[in-house]
Amino acid sequence: MKRITRSYSRLVMFGSLCLLAAGLVYGAYQTPAAAQRRVTFDFVRYTQNKPFKLNTLPTTAYGPPWADIIKQPKSNMLECRGNTAPIALCYYSGPGPTAPCIMDGLGIANCTCYEIPAGQTYYVDINAILNLDVYLRTVATCGKEGERCAPAGPKEAPVCDVINHNLLIPGADLISTFSLYLEKRQDRYPQFKISLTECPSAAYAGCMTAPCKRTGKIDPTTHLPLVQCGCPVYEGPYQIGQEISKTDCRLGGNYVWSAAFTPPPKP
């Protein structure tokens, strides 16, 4: 009887250790910041209390919309063609001096970004649409991962038309999305080469579909107008779209990188 009891105790202990190990493995692939879905910011400075519903749904298991999660790059990044409105490109924003991102202490990073002229193809992460109604319409048309819309599918995403008519966030002059406009000019401007750097968990600016205002300033290098975007701040692991030293992942003071996160494949 004692032998059976000892064996049972060892089995229970072994099972507990297995569950603990499984939990650690699962946790490694989940954001430790799921509690960050609590909203710590607002866009009142843009909307001036005009009707607007912020999307607070857990669009992925890794974080809320402003975490800018890209699970399936081929389908999550919705292609918007033939646009009739300029967009803001915050992909290269961070430490400055031209395009800094500075946290305001109220959950927003004020990021200086490049205004990309109308007529250029741009891309929207379906998981990062900050307007709730537009997100729900886009998912209904494109599928949860965006598989039914361009470039993976034949349809154009509803979010594209909304951005083209500047209706995504009331009060914004333009919206932050992603574009290859500057990357295609890296022969003239090598600083715009795309090269991802993995960074450990820290605060970063989630600029996808964030509202922006024109500043009236011009970048002397690219001759593009500079705009300021209100990018929600999120904390977690992230990737920067430039080749930097890992020691530069964390910026000093109130500066943060404009970034996003593509989770690693699950084992």
- Kindly state the tokens that stand for 196: 């991802």
Q: Phi, psi at residue 188, to the nearest 5°?
A: -95, -35
In a domain, 116, yes or no: yes
Of 46, 36, 21, which is closest to residue 201 (Cα–Cα)? Answer: 36
Of 264, 234, 211, which is closest to residue 58 (Cα–Cα)? Answer: 234
* 118 and 238, same domain (yes or no): yes
In a domain, 160, yes or no: yes
Residue 41 CB coordination number (10 Å):
16
Report the number of distinct structural domains present in the chain.
Answer: 2
Residue 201 CB coordination number (10 Å):
14
Domain of 56 in residue numbering reads as 31-248
Give the pLDDT band of residue 135 (cuts 50, 70, 90). Answer: very high
Per-residue pLDDT tens over the stretch 52-106 = 999 999 999 999 999 999 999 999 999 998 678 999 999 999 998 999 999 999 9
Helices (H), 101-147: 132-142
Q: Going by C-beta distance under 8 Å and a sequence separation of 6 or more, which residues neighbour residue 101?
A: 90, 93, 94, 109, 110, 111, 112, 205, 231, 255, 256, 257, 258
Per-residue pLDDT tens over the stretch 183-240 = 988 878 888 888 899 999 999 999 999 999 999 999 999 999 999 999 999 999 999 9
* 18 and 44, same domain (yes or no): no
* 22 and 37, same domain (yes or no): no
- Kindly state the tokens that stand for 82: 């033939």
* 4 and 120, same domain (yes or no): no
